[in-house]
Amino acid sequence: MGEKSAQKKKHILDKARAVFSEKGYKNVTMKDIVDACDISRGGLYLYFSSTEELFLAVLENEFDEDDEEAVAAALSGEASAGDMLALFLKEQKKSILRKKNNITIATYEYFFNHKVSSKDNPLKKQFNTAVTIVEKLVENGIENGEFYCENPLGFARNLMYVVEGLKVMSKTCSISEEAIDNELMYILEGLVPEE
């Protein structure tokens, strides 16, 4: 794919993300995307053949951008494990609280109505990547004496289940920033080394 073509595809994905954020998944049509991108219908169909294909590309694009960088940072050991975990949780909290351009509702709409194999599921991929990041950070923290944890993988999974639950709560109920902080701190208390 040439540079101009890659830029056009990125433009379409960025505009589509905003449309899915505003309208959810099921209410979006290809015409909505054409209008948002200010391109011809044929121009859009050169890149994507359906709203489903486009939505899955938006999800893949969103998850791939940060995954490799985050895993590398988690494994680098350049910052303390505590600092890296705090940064990771800050990003998760921003995602939970994000009001504008948030595709969480569209994502849940899609996955409640479409069966996607576990191997091809971008949500599962995102979840597993986050678990790997947290697990490595906890292992690094244990090695450095910052953390105590008998089961880093179990801790990482538990933390990410809480984060996912908070994402759902933020979209279906009102949840305060303080409540999010309290839930995350409650989980993190399990890492404090015994004196």
Residue 128 has a CB neighbour count (10 Å cut-off) of 15
Question: What residues contact 184, with CB distance under 8 A and at least 6 apart?
Answer: 89, 92, 93, 159, 162, 163
Q: What is the 3-state secondary structure (H, E, C) of 32-81?
A: HHHHHHCCCHHHHHCCCCCHHHHHHHHHHHHHHHHHHHHHHHHHHCCCCH
What pTM did the predictor assign? 0.77
Q: What is the pLDDT of residue 190?
A: 82
The least confident of 115-119, 131-135, 139-143, 145-149 is 115-119
- Closest C-alpha to 168, from 123, 104, 114: 104
Q: What is the pLDDT of residue 178?
A: 93
For domain 59-191, the question of CATH label 3.40.50 is answered with: no
Average pLDDT over the chain, rounded to an integer:
86
Per-domain residue ranges for the chain?
Answer: 59-191
Q: What is the pLDDT of residue 77?
A: 59
Q: For the segment 26-77, what is each residue's pLDDT rounded down to a tens digit?
A: 999 999 999 999 999 999 999 999 999 999 999 887 765 554 565 566 566 5
Higher pLDDT, 128 or 77: 128
Q: Which two tokens stand for residue 85?
A: 């975990």
Higher pLDDT, 36 or 94: 36
Q: For the segment 145-158, what is each residue's pLDDT rounded down to a tens digit?
A: 999 999 999 999 99
Rounded Cα distance, 104 and 189, in Å: 28
At residue 131 the predicted structure's pLDDT band, cuts being 50, 70 and 90, is: very high
